[in-house]
Structure 1
Amino acid sequence: MSNAAIRLALALSCATFTGTASAGPDDAFVEFRSLKPEYALQMAQAALESCREAGFQVGVTVVDRMGVPQVFLRDRFAGAHVYETSRRKAWTAVSFRSSTTDLDAATQPGAASFGIRALSEALPLGGGLLVQDGEGATVAGIGVSGAPSPSADDACAEAGIAAIANDIAF
């Protein structure tokens, strides 16, 4: 295989994996979209408020598309665990390009992907969602922890995304 063919295969695999990266076979750089911190904060605040209105004290983490935290908010009475749990949920969503609820179902004992549960940071437990732009490219992840169920964490995360949906859909 020629060097050009290898570079093309690498560029295509990177673009396929990330969903947002773009580069030609001879380009030295990859371009991608990532959510601005102001929108990450707005999303986290909306998720926190949604849970608060439902009577839940939670923590919310928004990570960039690489899994690095941008924002963490914790309500007054949320447990000490919500920082780690919300961060790991958001990280898991962007790392595996899947909601953590879907990943939970896909990694049950006996499933082919069960080994994911052995990774130190992966947390396949509902409450972690991908944030995608209008073209379906991942731009961030959001994780919510502290509601009484994973589905309630999901609902609050969805409310956070809905708060910025018009700004990121183009």
Structure 2
Amino acid sequence: MKTLAATLAAAALLAAAATAPARAQDDGALVSFEVMKPDVALRLAQGALERCRDEGAQIAVAVVDRFGVLQVVLRDRYAGAHTPETARRKAWTAVSFRNDTLALAEVAKPGGEAYGANFIEDALMLGGGVPVEAAGSIVGGVGVSGAPGGALDDACARAGIEAVMDDLAF
């Protein structure tokens, strides 16, 4: 029972930390936000796919909006059947926790301060998920799955972001 309480406490702390910046800007009845247009999300996914191809990796890449809703999924011809869903979950985790999943994987290891986050539905603490930011705000997330290791998944996700960085600068 003590482990369950610790798990829930860690999850609550992560959730509170993720929403803290939003509360600081709560000065009206309405909110506004930016999200990527579908064509930008597609080019981001294509950039990630190309980078992994250049590295000899067959992957799937998913792009979600700032709320974690799926915008694009691309799966290379030899990528495993599990890779589209894994990529989606990595992208969702990156926007939900407002951090890249390579860093989250470190703090979510057994005994780590955020180990309990592993038990949140859809959260996937494996490298390859990266939030997409523009003008200091998260506008989406990208997840890559299928490369030999989370570090290469992460590098491919970041290459996808780099491919659309000029579009995101506003």
TM-score by length of 1: 0.85
The alignment partner of 2:164 has SS state of: helix
What RMSD over aligned residues (CA atoms) do the two structures have, in Å? 1.8
- Using the alignment, how far apart are the partners of 1:155 and 1:18 within structure 2? 32
The alignment partner of 1:60 has SS state of: strand
Offset, 1:28: 2.5
Which letter does structure 1 place at the counterpart of 2:84?
Y
Q: Which runs of 4+ in 1 moved over 6 A?
A: none
Matched, 1:151 2:148: no
Q: Which runs of 5+ in 2 are unaligned?
A: 1-17
Query: Residue in 2 aligned with 1:3?
Result: none
- Using the alignment, how far apart are the partners of 2:23 and 2:53 within structure 1? 33
Larger of the two Rg values belongs to structure: 1
Query: Residue in 2 aligned with 1:136?
Result: 136
Q: Which runs of 5+ in 1 are unaligned?
A: 1-12
| Equivalences for residues 64-79 of structure 1 within 5 A | 64-79=65-80
Q: Is the 8 A contact 1:103 1:124 kept in 2?
A: yes
| Equivalences for residues 13-162 of structure 1 within 5 A | 16-17=21-22, 23-24=26-27, 27-133=28-134, 135-162=135-162
- Using the alignment, how far apart are the partners of 2:23 and 2:68 within structure 1? 12
The alignment partner of 2:126 has SS state of: coil
Give aligned pairs, total.
Answer: 153
- Using the alignment, how far apart are the partners of 2:103 and 2:22 within structure 1? 18
Q: Is the 8 A contact 1:23 1:31 kept in 2?
A: no
User: In percent, how many aligned pairs have the same letter?
Assistant: 52
Q: Which has the higher contact order (CA 8 A, sep 6+)?
A: 2
- Using the alignment, how far apart are the partners of 2:116 and 2:19 within structure 1? 23
The alignment partner of 2:125 has SS state of: coil
